[in-house]
Structure 1
Amino acid sequence: MSDWAPNEEGDKVLYVFSCGNIGADEHAIRLDGIELDLWEWVSFEQLADYVIPRLVRRITRAYEAHQNGMTLYLEHGEVVLGA
């Protein structure tokens, strides 16, 4: 999925890739302790408590695309074209 995000600093194209299932095994995720010191699973209902609105839209659309086996093109997190 790609998301075009025009910005006064310069337009950006952001991508979300599927990297397979991580699973529930908490040992599958290893943090380096420098850049990241905590992780947790968060439900879609809780996303807005953790990330800004445009990321909520982007993550939600990526999940929907994955569930439906689709590729999506977004602008500011809103669907423009589905393939």
Structure 2
Amino acid sequence: MISKYHKKYKIVDAVIPAGSISIHSSRTYHSSVENNSGSDRIGMVVHFATDMAKRVNISGEHSKYLDMLDDQSICPVIYDS
């Protein structure tokens, strides 16, 4: 998809060993291939924001995604100033 729409972007494979983690900017497009190991693949996402961050209302097919931010069972606040 990236190579189709962004021909000037450099695409780099970052193959990491099983059990490793990847830490990257939210602006980094990332994906993985199908999990054929027979074991669950566990993922954890951590977002950091300052007290200056503002929620921006969006519309369209992905607009419901942000509603999960208010559900503490899905998106817990781990530090509240």
Give TM class, smaller chain. Answer: under 0.3
Structure 1 or 2: more strand by fraction: 1
Which structure has more relative contact order (CA 8 Å, sep 6+)? It is 1
Give the TM-score, by structure 2 length.
0.28
